[in-house]
Amino acid sequence: MSNQVIDLLQKLRQSAIKRGLQALISYHEEDSYLMRFANSAISLNTNEHLISLDFIAFDGRKKASYSMIVDPTDFESMEKGLDTLAEMLPHAQPLSYDPTFPVYEKDVVDERPFDPALAALTNEERLAYFNTLAEGLESDDIKLSGFFSNGTTTTAQISTANEHTQCFRSTDAQVTAVLSSESLKWEVNAEQSAQKKSDLDAEGLHADLALLVKHYQEDQSVQLPVGKYTVVFGPAATAEIVNIMAYYGMTGAALMQGYSFLKEEDQGKRLFSEKVSLRDDPGVVEIFAQTADRFGFERKPFPLVSEGRFQAFMWDQDSADEFGKTPTGHDVSHASLVVDAGSSEINTLQALIDMEREEDILYIPYMHYMNVVNPTQGMITGSSRFGALFLKKDGSVQVPYNVRLTQKFSDFFGERVQWLSQKQVVYNVSSSYGRRDPNALKVPRFICVKEIEISHSNPSY
Amino acid sequence: MREKIKEQLDLLKAKGAHYVDARWYPREDSNFLFMWNGNLKENNASSQSGMGVRVLYNGAWGFSASSDLSNPDAIFEKAFDNARIASERVTFPIRLAEKEAIVGSFTSPNQIDPFTIGLAEKVAFLQKMDSALNQPGVIQRFGMLEFVRKQIIFMDSEGSEIEKNIIEVFPSIHAMGIDKDGGMQSRKYMPGRTGPTRGWESINETDFLANAERIISELNQVLVADDAPNGKMSVILLPGIMFLQTHETIGHALELDRILGYELSFAGGSFVRLEDFGKLRYGSEKLTARANALEPNSPGSFGFDDDGVPAQDNLLIDKGILVGAITGRQMVEEANAKAKKQIFNGSSGANRASSFYRVPIERMTNINIDPGTDGSLEDIIANTKYGLVLDGDKSWSIGSNREQFHFACDIGWLVEDGQKKQVVKNPTYRGETLPFYNSLTAVGDESTWVLHYVDNCGKGAPNQIMQLGHGIPVCRFDNVQVGE
């Protein structure tokens, strides 16, 4: 961790104190690189170096905040930000509850997810990675798209209560590679999340893409009839569904605001398949977990679902303050979600294709544009995309056009769950809206669920 | 700083760059207030400044941005280096459509700068709204005010120098309740833009209070309503949902970068092909859609895009036939070359970036549906045998090529034999884009037309949130699948 960051925070703390502010001061720095591909070319090559500061001032029940993206050498502008905050605070309307002011009891430095080699990755290396993963797979009709995003994120906090600081630094990479037919409009993809340079595996992505391209070129395409199917979900689909379920259903805020499909009395009840266990685990470095939340709460593994039993809601500090609950260390930008592995030895796509089966299986690796249709019913909708396969019980393979699923969380993770892979995969769900904030889930390679309803089936690619 | 930028534009041209531009944001301010159940949960002000530089070298783009302006030369150098590496993998060398070098400026029309209004007055507005919403049946309520003020200096190596000063306001109120079956229901009000300006004066307290009363009344009807029916029927989409239908299945589908495959790895592509322009029957003859960046009072109007091209009003769909797209300088050249004919006559001026640290891409401006000749909402209902009137964007999910969609709405009213009947809850509908628009059988007149703002349109990698508008009349579609 750079001493400059700590020095800046200490300096800003003194400035805040001088203005009579009781304040939390947060620092965010990103050094981001993104190489984007389209139509088999680099369509964009970017980098952004941005430094953001957030000041939150407290005066009893009054709160105000000021955020800035700022030149790190322009201390005068930072002080003006504090001046603005001091002007805003008296006019804030008091809350109906007492907000907690963060007081850090010790210095925290967590750089476990930081890898200097990944931080120093060059333009040439990003290009070489993509050239390797696509080698021999492109043609006049089959085009490469995708992006290689990597960066370093540094965050740090100090409060005016004392001189203790919390500092976190991580590196991350998110790679998506798409091969698509320009004439037929089919698309297959391969993705990877990396926390360190040695995680990067261009050959692995090449193998995944080659297998899917072979099936999409050689196997018969099909419009599936609507109806119920046994579906095997890939890690992208599983991670996105779990992420939405946890966000909309398993936070104290969602519970109190009436959005959750779960109720307070559901804690301890078996609502999901006993094959399903889900936890927030800050110990898993490769999913960019943090050891302390913004209020200095030491984060520990937090079971959400244990063998099908829903355990507890996650409470951030503000919601806990408002509703008289105990915070659970969840004043973080995202939980660090892990779905436990299962017992199935089906751990690769080739093994899934080759497995003996007594019924047809629809493989859906990825769900496009999911949204919550009815939060209190836990109902979501989305379409399959990127490399779905229809695995016939006679062993043959067909390529299905995209289908739409509109189902409840209990349909995905309830009694219809058949099996989960032994192998877990890290799937990167980072959004690059706004600040860099690496986020990934660790989920089984496959989850098989029966009786998933397909409500619409495209007539073509 | 302007002199420094000019110096660097010349320097990179001398080093072999084909084109260079810089967007310097001396300052962008925003202010966000969020009151939930009477508690001022967010009382935030923010500012940002920095510069983004785009370099075209040997047919490839490089971009670099930084908030650290202590050494602006470094941003130009990095952008040039990024372009140099990108040029090692080029399949279609980027060319830019011709444009005139412009020295000019744009200031969004407003009477009252919202940043001159004191915090106390803004909080007082939210408190009034909170009191108005705090009524029986409402268990959650919130109001939001967001204000943006930005100064953008655009300079390019072709001699353009444009200054933009833009102010936006985004107010809304929301009320939620629990229905008879335990489900969360909501109604909201985001005012249409009716006046000629877009400053603080566009927030009309009397109008908000009247609409607070309306949405609470509607919410309470939803809370005791039965579920919407299933099956195929007519749907009459009010502007409060038709704007999103238009946004997702006309706007995004007609972004030329999507059509050319530049968004495949993230947002998706488009079912539209280059050979479709001038031929494809997108919808019935009642459908005329346009990209009009000249509406004075909308965030979809910005004077000049981030290629330095003046804002325009262009037809997209003319009486059902696809005739235009949402374009920037790069994509029109590539599209014309790939089509081996001139489909597009220059950029439509729709290449925009959400901030100094993002690169410009094709974005919607104001994607509008022209008013029709089928009268008022009441007239359209009177001419409908069986169906639903729908309003409110509760949920939306669209196929990756914008070929199909699923929407859930906040409220529905049953229509039987030309009569608007009882409210129904949890209405949803889905369809395939082309058959859906070809089933458009009624378009309301100007009395039904509302200009909606959108403050959260996401696209691109790295992702960008953009603000825009949709001027939309009431529209009726027949034989639509409802209730899945």
For A242-291, what is each residue's pLDDT tens digit?
999 999 999 999 999 989 999 999 999 999 999 999 999 999 999 999 89
Residue A432 has pLDDT above 80, yes or no: no
What does the pLDDT look like over B241-295, one tens digit per residue? 999 999 999 999 999 999 999 999 888 999 999 999 999 999 999 999 999 999 9
By C-alpha distance, the chain B residue nearest A147 is: B265
C-alpha distances out from residue A164 to A103, A186, A317, Å: 8, 54, 19
CATH 3.30.2290.10 intervals, chain B:
2-224
Q: Do A402 and B399 lie within an 8 Å CB cutoff?
A: yes
A374 and B426: CB-CB below 8 Å? yes
A433 has a pLDDT exceeding 90 = no
Contacts of B92 (CB under 8 A, 6+ apart): A39, A41, B59, B334, B337, B338
Residue to mutate among A5, A42, A439, with most B CBs inside 10 A, is A42
Contact A71 B463 (CB under 8 A): no
Q: Does B49 touch chain A (CB under 8 A)?
A: yes
Asked whether B298 and B453 are in contact (CB, 8 A), the reply is yes
CB A41 within 8 A of CB B89: yes
Q: At B288, which amino acid appears?
A: T
Our CA-based measurement puts residue B400 at a distance from the nearest CA of chain A, in whole angstroms, of: 7
Checking if the pLDDT of A431 tops 90, the result is no
B357 and A50 within 8 Å at the Cβ level: the answer is yes
Complete domains list, chain A, with CATH: 3-131+145-176 (3.30.2290.10), 221-457 (no CATH)
Q: Tell whether B184 is within 8 A of chain A (Cβ).
A: yes
Interchain pair A433, B38: CB under 8 A: no
Query: Is B264 in Cβ contact with A178 (below 8 Å)?
Result: yes
The CATH code for residues B2-224 is 3.30.2290.10
Among the partner residues A46, A124, A369, nearest to B359 by beta-carbon distance: A46
Closest CA to B353 of A29, A431, A46, A175: A46
Q: Which residues contact A21 (CB under 8 A, 6 or more apart)?
A: A55, A57, A82, A85, A86, A89, A160
Contact with chain A for residue B53, Cβ under 8 A: no
Residues in B touching A374 (Cβ below 8 Å) = 183, 395, 408, 426
Name the residue among A88, A60, A34 with its Cα closest to residue A321: A60
Q: Does B61 touch chain A (CB under 8 A)?
A: yes
Report which secondary-structure segment, H or E, holds A246.
helix A235-249
CB-CB under 8 Å, A46 with B89: no
CA distance B310 to chain A (A): 24
Take residue B320 and report the two structure tokens written for it.
């059902």
Chain A residue nearest residue B482, CA to CA: A455
Of B47, B70, B78, the CB nearest to A73: B70
Question: From the CA of B12, how many Å to the nearest CA of chain A?
Answer: 17
Q: How far is A165 from chain B (nearest CA, A)?
A: 23
Using a CB-CB cut-off of 8 Å, the residues of chain B touching A191 are none
Asked if B90 and A96 come within 8 Å (Cβ–Cβ), the reply is no
Give the closest of A45, A84, A96 to B61, CB-based: A45
Determine whether the interchain pair B63/A45 forms a contact, defined as Cβ–Cβ distance below 8 Å: yes
Number of Cβ pairs < 8 A linking chain A and chain B = 254
Looking at this protein, which amino acid is placed at residue A325? K
**Residue of A24, A29, A31, A46 for testing the chain B interface, max B β-carbons within 10 Å:** A46
Q: Which of residues 324-353 of B touch A (CB under 8 A)?
A: none
Q: Which of B43, B76, B145, B465 should one mutate to test binding to chain A, selecting the residue with the greatest count of A CBs within 10 A?
A: B43
B433–A contact, CB cutoff 8 A: no
Mean confidence (pLDDT) of chain A: 95
Distance from CA of B187 to the nearest CA of A (A): 14
A72 and B463 within 8 Å at the Cβ level: the answer is: no
Nearest chain A Cα distance for residue B95, angstroms: 12
> Which residue does chain B place closest to A376, by CA atoms?
B183
Q: What band does A412 get if pLDDT is binned at 50, 70 and 90? A: very high
Question: Could you give the CA distance from residue B173 to residue A305 in angstroms, rounded to a whole number?
Answer: 35
Nearest to A43 among B119, B262, B397 (CB): B262
- In angstroms, rounded to a whole number, what is the distance separating the alpha carbons of residues A316 and A304? 15
What's the gap in Å between the CA of B196 and the closest CA on chain A? 31
Residue of B nearest to A99 (CA): B41
Instruction: Tell me if chain A has a CB within 8 Å of the CB of B265.
Output: yes
SS3 letters across chain A: CCHHHHHHHHHHHHHHHHCCCEEEEEEEEEEEEEEEEECCEEEEEEEEEEEEEEEEEEECCEEEEEEEECCCCCHHHHHHHHHHHHHHHHHCCCCCCCCCCCCCCCCEEECCCCCHHHHCCCHHHHHHHHHHHCCCCCCCCEEEEEEEEEEEEEEEEEECCCCCEEEEEEEEEEEEEEEEECCCCCEEEEEEEECCHHHCCHHHHHHHHHHHHHHHHHCEEECCCCEEEEEEECHHHHHHHHHHHHHHHCEHHHHHHCCCCCCHHHCCCECCCCCCCEEECCCCHHHCCCCECCCCCECCCEEEEECCEECCCECCHHHHHHHCCCCCCCCCCCCCEEECCCCECCCCHHHHHHCCCCCCEEEECEEEEEEEEEHHHCEEEEEEECCCEEECCCCCEEEECCEEEEEEHHHHHCCCEEEEECCEEEEECCCCCCCCCCCEEEEECCEEEEEEEEEEECCCC
Q: How confident is the model at residue B193, as a pLDDT?
A: 87
Closest by Cα among A168, A202, A178, A158 to A43 = A178
CB-nearest to B78 from A41, A47, A66 is: A47
Residues of A in contact with B484 (CB under 8 A): 406, 455-456
CB contact under 8 A, A42 and B458: no
Q: Do B264 and A145 touch (CB under 8 A)?
A: yes
Please count the other Cβ atoms lying within 10 Å of the Cβ belonging to residue B61. 23
Give which of B232, B259, B265, B270 to mutate to test A binding, by max A Cβ within 10 Å: B265
CB-based contact (8 Å) between B186 and chain A?
no
Chosen from B25, B400, B410 to mutate, greatest number of chain A CBs within 10 A: B400
CA distance B28 to chain A (A): 10
Task: Please tell me if residue B408 touches chain A, with a CB cutoff of 8 Å.
Answer: yes
Burial class (CB in 10 A: 0-12, 13-18, 19+), A374: buried
Q: What is the pLDDT of residues A358-383, one digit of tens each?
A: 999 999 999 999 999 999 999 999 99
Task: pLDDT tens for chain B, 484 residues: list them.
Answer: 999 999 999 999 999 999 999 999 999 999 999 999 999 999 999 999 999 999 999 999 999 999 999 999 999 999 999 999 999 999 999 999 999 999 999 999 999 999 999 999 999 999 999 999 999 999 999 999 999 999 999 999 999 999 999 999 999 999 999 999 999 999 999 999 888 899 999 999 999 999 999 999 999 999 999 999 999 999 999 999 999 999 999 999 999 999 999 999 888 999 999 999 999 999 999 999 999 999 999 999 999 999 999 999 999 999 999 999 999 999 999 999 999 999 999 999 999 999 999 999 999 999 999 999 999 999 999 999 999 999 999 999 999 999 999 999 999 999 999 999 999 999 999 999 999 999 999 999 999 999 999 999 999 988 999 999 999 999 999 999 999 7
ipTM over 0.90: yes
Chain B residues in contact with A459 (beta carbon < 8 A) = 432
Residues in B closer than 8 angstroms to A404, CB to CB, are 397, 399, 404, 406, 430
- Please answer yes or no on whether A49 and B66 come within 8 Å at the CB atom: yes
User: Rounded distance, CA A209 to CA A192, Å?
Assistant: 12
Tokens for A190?
């391969």
Q: How many CB atoms lie within 10 A of CB B6?
A: 15
Structure tokens at A147: 């992006």
Tracing tokens 């009247």 back to the chain, one arrives at B210
Which amino acid, one-letter code, is at B198? R
Establish if B1 touches chain A: CB-CB under 8 angstroms: no
Distances (CA, A) of A36 to A151, A208, B89, B310, B461: 14, 20, 11, 28, 8
